[in-house]
Amino acid sequence: MNWRLVAIPASIIPLLIMLIFTRISPNDLFAVGLFPFLISVASVMGKVMLQALRFKYFITAFIGHGVSSTGKIISARLAGEFVTQTTPSYVGGELVRVAFLTKNGVPPGRAAWVTTMEIIADVFVGTMLAFVAGALAIYRGGNFIGVTIILVAIPTLGFWLLLVIFSAKRNLRLPSFSVRIMRRFTAKEKAEKMVESTNSAIADLCKMSRENFNSLKSVKIFVIGIVITFLAFVLQGVSFMVLADSVGSHIGLSGSLLATSASTVLSTLPITIGGSGLAELGIWAYISNLNGIPSINDLVKHSQLNVIIAWRIASYHIPLFIMWIALMRLTVGKVSLENEEREKDIPSSTHSIVFDEKKHVPGETTTTTDNNKNATNNCRNISSKKQSTIDEHPDDKI
């Protein structure tokens, strides 16, 4: 199954289910207005472009210039974001970015370090905003949604912080039972090779972590990355604010920022691809200041449900199609390049056979094969002449 072709239809299924059960009509969605809808889409694409520029900045800061062109780096970041947005818990996009960097000559450990810095920047900013959103929800009486947001955010932040700290102190490796598990799905030699290459990349990552953990330059780079990430989250907040304001719900930028951050954290639960359904439920629960387990009627009768669905379409489904185009360009270009290289790798014997079958035409330059034949005949003639000379003068033999 080609995930590049199935991901978009699969991501639409939760949206269709929600439209059917909530009975939201197209007129309800169009109530937000075309211009606010386009501004919402532009805000989300601005967020994606900021993430791409952050990727470019980390590459330049940690690896150097000349890895690839800015356009190709942005396309690779968009392609990786497509994978991220179509998998549970937003994982997988970093593998696309690591593959892109290693293809351009970057060692796997350094490539993994760049993507790790991206993940930590997203996790740090996202979880900090989630903690603020959760605490504010509890303060306003929404104990259920506030506690849920905080409980979901804590393990994510803890895991990545511990990973960075331990990688700076010691070399990490895959568990010893990894080979036994992988041998159930592939050959023994291939499993051992995959584990060995993974451990090598992890060792390089740990080395990069030790080199940069106590470096003031690295701290400066990371702070700049945090600022870029925060601006990206602000643009995501703008995407919901303009739609809410269009129907008279003046939620404000700060409220919209915290609502979308809470939605993002709840979407990391590994239940649906790209957090479909969870994102809508999360932002609805936050703006409703939910203080208990909700019912279907509470969700269906909410006055801003059409705004939430319109926001999901503008912030997820339309950008997802643009990211899909970037992924197709990246993968189709790779296939075309491999085909060209395969065509160039024609065995030299094929050319020799073609030359051997050609007949010599008077007036044309002799081929390499003809020259070899002539040289062989000349050597034979010289040997015959030497032998005849020796036979004529037997007294000179040794």
Q: pLDDT of 245-292, one tens digit each? A: 887 777 889 999 999 999 999 988 888 777 777 888 888 888 888 777
Q: Which long-range contacts (CB under 8 A, 24 or more apart) does 136-143 make?
A: 136/258, 137/262, 137/286, 137/289, 140/289, 141/289, 141/291, 142/285, 142/286, 142/288, 142/289, 142/290, 142/291, 143/291
Degrees, nearest 5: CA angle 83-335-322: 35
Task: Please indicate, yes or no, whether residues 321 and 384 belong to a single structural domain of this protein.
Answer: no
Separation of alpha carbons 230 and 345, rounded Å: 49
Is the pLDDT at 241 greater than 80? The verdict is yes
pLDDT of residue 308: 86
Highest mean pLDDT among 143-157, 243-257, 367-381: 143-157
Task: Please indicate, yes or no, whether residues 336 and 377 belong to a single structural domain of this protein.
Answer: no
Domain end among 300, 315, 344: 344
Task: Please indicate, yes or no, whether residues 376 and 318 belong to a single structural domain of this protein.
Answer: no
Q: Minimum mean pLDDT among 15-19, 44-48, 163-167: which range?
A: 15-19
pLDDT of residue 156: 87
Highest mean pLDDT among 149-163, 173-187, 274-288: 149-163
User: Greater confidence, 106 or 202?
Assistant: 106
What single-letter DSSP state applies at residue 360? P
pLDDT of residue 185: 64
Task: Please indicate, yes or no, whether residues 36 and 178 belong to a single structural domain of this protein.
Answer: yes
Domain end among 344, 367, 387: 344
Residue pLDDT, tens place only, 78-88: 888 888 888 87
Separation of alpha carbons 159 and 285, rounded Å: 26
pLDDT of residue 25: 73
Task: Please indicate, yes or no, whether residues 129 and 213 belong to a single structural domain of this protein.
Answer: yes
Q: The domain containing residue 377 runs over which residues?
A: 349-396
Mean pLDDT, to the nearest integer, of 315-322? 87
Task: Please indicate, yes or no, whether residues 270 and 369 belong to a single structural domain of this protein.
Answer: no
Report the chain's mean pLDDT, rounded to a whole number: 77
Three-state SS letters, 229-268: HHHHHHHHHHHHHHHHHHCCCCCCHHHHHHHHHHHHHHHC
Task: Tell me the pLDDT band of 391, cut-offs 50, 70 and 90.
Answer: very low
Number of domains into which the chain is organized: 2
Task: Please indicate, yes or no, whether residues 147 and 96 belong to a single structural domain of this protein.
Answer: yes
Domain end among 311, 326, 344: 344
Separation of alpha carbons 45 and 85, rounded Å: 14
Whole-Å CA distances, 196 to 101, 172, 188, 202, 371 = 20, 12, 12, 10, 51
Task: Please indicate, yes or no, whether residues 358 and 223 belong to a single structural domain of this protein.
Answer: no
Task: Please indicate, yes or no, whether residues 283 and 370 belong to a single structural domain of this protein.
Answer: no
Max intra-chain CA distance, the chain: 123
Task: Please indicate, yes or no, whether residues 197 and 264 belong to a single structural domain of this protein.
Answer: yes
Which single residue is written with the structure tokens 């994606």?
Answer: 48
Q: Minimum mean pLDDT among 21-25, 56-60, 267-271: which range?
A: 21-25
Report yes or no: 129 and 258 within 8 Å, Cβ to Cβ: yes
User: Greater confidence, 24 or 104?
Assistant: 104
Q: Minimum mean pLDDT among 23-27, 90-94, 157-161, 305-309: which range?
A: 23-27
pLDDT of residue 177: 64
Q: Minimum mean pLDDT among 135-149, 180-194, 310-324: which range?
A: 180-194
Task: Please indicate, yes or no, whether residues 271 and 128 belong to a single structural domain of this protein.
Answer: yes
Q: What is the dihedral of CA 373, 376, 378, 384, to 10 degrees?
A: -140
Task: Please indicate, yes or no, whether residues 228 and 359 belong to a single structural domain of this protein.
Answer: no
